[in-house]
Structure 1
Amino acid sequence: MPKSNCKHFPNADDHCLVCETEQRAAMRSSVYNDERSTFALHAVTAFRDVCPGSRNEDGSPLIEEAVGDLIANLMHLCVKHGVDPLKQIKNGVCHFAVETIEPDGVSHEAQFNYTVYARPYASGESWQLFDWRNPPASRET
């Protein structure tokens, strides 16, 4: 079977869903949410290729775990580059809300408020307000 001309998976034996999705989106002025989820699946799959984790029986990434790990790693990337990671989470949640209401996202806006608390796992200690700029010291020995 001939190899595909895919820019995402050059050695693929089959067509690429991401390429198909991009081609459909290019024919319209907007991207639909099912296409956004396909783009995200591509990112999660690529992430799992370099950062292994749990997988389904067919070898595909276990989505719930992979998405959580990817979000956490993206937040570490933000900190490394001086970008507020919690602001990016807020922006992402607001984009998701608006795009869920209206895929073009042009006539709605959203607000998301959150507070993060942390404590040592199963410690029974009181929860402390978490500040990513000044995290508490680890108690690991």
Structure 2
Amino acid sequence: MQISTKFTIAVHILMAAKYFEGKQKITSSFLAGSIGSNPVIVRNIMLQLQEAGLIDVKRGPGGITINRPLSQITYLDIYKAVETNSGNDLFRFHENPNPRCPVGRNIFKAMDDSLDQIQRALEKELAAHNLGAVYDNIEAAVEAS
């Protein structure tokens, strides 16, 4: 199982927005240069972060504003903002199992509880980590280099 790069790109966006706050205009092109990605991908992720209420984006000199202290933004907040397409389920079932097949007819029931438990455990762990700690690590690494 792998979470897409959208998660780490979103964290990178927020870290850069905080680090360069007041020092540099934070544009999608600037962020793409830092991330090593395409500005369109960065803009799409910024839109998801904005729709989740984590940032505000203003055209022109406004740039990005982070709406909460980093210590109040968890990995779970980021995950839900950028990784969930429809609904919040980590696992998605295939859509058309054969109802005449004993396995196809029962596969959802057989797996639902365990997959729910796995999702709750992942969400609990993601909620335990916040971006304030990530930023502290970045500042320490910058000072050490």
TM-score w.r.t. the length of structure 2 is 0.27
Greater helix fraction, Structure 1 or Structure 2: 2
